[in-house]
Amino acid sequence: MSQSGAEGGKRFVLPASQFQQVFDALKRLGYQIIAPTLLDEAIVYEPVESVDELPAGFTDEQRAGVYRLKRRADKALFGYAVGPRSWKHYLYPPRQRLWQAKRDGNGGFQVIPEQEQIPRYAFVGVRACELAAIAIQDRVFLGEQHHDEYYRRRRENALLVAVNCVYPAGNCFCSSVGTGPRVQEGFDLAITEVLDGKSHFLVIEVGSERGAAVLEGVDVQTATEEQWQQAQQAVDSAARRILKHLDTTDLKELLYRHLDSPHWEAVAKRCLTCSNCTMVCPTCFCHTVEDITNLQGTVAERWRRWDSCFHIDFSYIHGSPVRVSEASRYRQWITHKLASWQDQFGTLGCVGCGRCITWCPVGIDITEEIRALRRSEEGRVAPTVPQEESHANT
């Protein structure tokens, strides 16, 4: 570390070839590193030991219903956008035991709270949209009235090493919802990767004392103004390459106006209600619980598991589910994400990461569905010929 010391708000530079030093420092501090790596032909967040496990030289092609890894011409460490897994996988695991109960032989039982060993996670490669997603889940699980202890214990100790997006994917629309591509807040360290043909380095911003402590053991130099500007330009160019757009004007009112829209039937013809979108979504928090017992019936366990509003039994009350039709379930999902979430938590439930579009097996695009709702209103207010129709007539 340079003589000046790594203080909050400071900017440093490290050659990409020396990035392992950051990993080593994290390990020395007792962190378990979770970072992007190749798994089953996708880039996912997994426990790693070395920078060699990062998907250097890979990028991802993403379109509606399409995800494909591609080779890059360079050796960029972070030259891709987000994959199917989000950090909620670690902060709010897909399956989590909540407690156990043991029979006491007296007609009763004793409840034993979960005593779990939780690693101190260091998340390396958290994108701006994902920082926003974590902040959103904080509001859900660390609310004023009720705290979820399982989430809190993971979240409190997690160190967030953010990465500025330089190569957005085809489904990214973070700029529409104000979450990216530049990381703004909520990180311990933030990295911008610069690769200009001649050099390959990382500009590192310090966002917290914990972040500064990591850099204590790393040979970083203070970034020059030129290096800082190069990093800024890289992120600026990323912002310009984000082509997907979600118009958020009046979004809540728009969706609330359309609870009875015939458009939901049109989506239901395509939607398989498979719940992929909710599994890959970094903010979706719905879960169910399962009770299991051992074969003797003396020990019972309560497990929590991710659930989805697309499942028909999600809304089941004696007799029948509330939301039987596919149309009502899609309407619930998108209305919650973009409208009622605002009433519940004061923000959108969408961070513009595009995962739900990429991983939808039939390529349903949340931004397109909103556009379709808006078009249906234009048709009513001022009768103009919709674009598709005029195209078909030519």
Q: Note the residues at the interface with another protein (CB under 8 A).
A: 98-99, 101, 103, 107-111, 113, 140-141, 143, 145-146, 148, 259-260, 285-289, 291-293, 297, 300, 302, 307, 309, 314-319, 322-325, 328, 332, 335-336, 339-340, 343-344
Nearer to another protein, 98 or 235 (CB): 98
Hey, what are 229's tokens? 């500007």
Q: How far is the CB of 307 from another protein (least distance, A)?
A: 7
57 backbone φψ class: left, alpha, beta (φ>0; ψ -120 to 50): left
Nearer to another protein, 16 or 251 (CB): 251
Q: How far is the CB of 321 from another protein (least distance, A)?
A: 8
Q: How far is the CB of 148 from another protein (least distance, A)?
A: 6
Q: How far is the CB of 107 from another protein (least distance, A)?
A: 5
Q: How far is the CB of 327 from another protein (least distance, A)?
A: 8
Picking from 305, 311, 313, the residue whose alpha carbon sits closest to that of residue 288 is: 305
Hey, what are 194's tokens? 């610069």
- Residues 6 or more apart whose CB falls under 8 angstroms from that of 55 comprise 36, 37, 38, 43, 69, 80
Q: What CA–CA distance (Å, rounded) separates 350 from 282?
A: 9
Nearer to another protein, 106 or 393 (CB): 106
In order, the DSSP letters of 117-149 are: ---EEEEEEE-HHHHHHHHHHHHHHB-SS-B-H
Nearer to another protein, 287 or 375 (CB): 287
Q: What are phi and psi of 202, to 5 degrees?
A: -115, 125
Q: How far is the CB of 381 from another protein (least distance, A)?
A: 22
Q: How far is the CB of 351 from another protein (least distance, A)?
A: 18
Nearer to another protein, 114 or 368 (CB): 114
Q: What CA–CA distance (Å, rounded) separates 57 from 74?
A: 6
Nearer to another protein, 104 or 209 (CB): 104
- Residues 6 or more apart whose CB falls under 8 angstroms from that of 347 comprise 136, 139, 341
> What SS3 class is residue 367?
helix
- Residues 6 or more apart whose CB falls under 8 angstroms from that of 374 comprise 247, 254
Q: What CA–CA distance (Å, rounded) separates 294 from 233?
A: 59
Q: How far is the CB of 306 from another protein (least distance, A)?
A: 10
- Residues 6 or more apart whose CB falls under 8 angstroms from that of 299 comprise 100, 101, 102, 103, 293
Nearer to another protein, 279 or 309 (CB): 309
Q: How far is the CB of 45 from another protein (least distance, A)?
A: 23
Hey, what are 180's tokens? 């990216």
Question: Exposed, middle or buried: residue 113 (CB in 10 Å: 0-12, 13-18, 19+)?
Answer: exposed
Question: Exposed, middle or buried: residue 116 (CB in 10 Å: 0-12, 13-18, 19+)?
Answer: exposed
Nearer to another protein, 236 or 343 (CB): 343
Q: How far is the CB of 378 from another protein (least distance, A)?
A: 24
- Residue 197 C-beta-side C-alpha neighbours within 13 Å: 0
- Residues 6 or more apart whose CB falls under 8 angstroms from that of 112 comprise 99, 100, 101, 102
Nearer to another protein, 228 or 303 (CB): 303
Nearer to another protein, 59 or 308 (CB): 308
| Contact between residue 155 and residue 138 where contact means Cβ atoms under 8 Å apart | yes
| Contact between residue 38 and residue 127 where contact means Cβ atoms under 8 Å apart | no
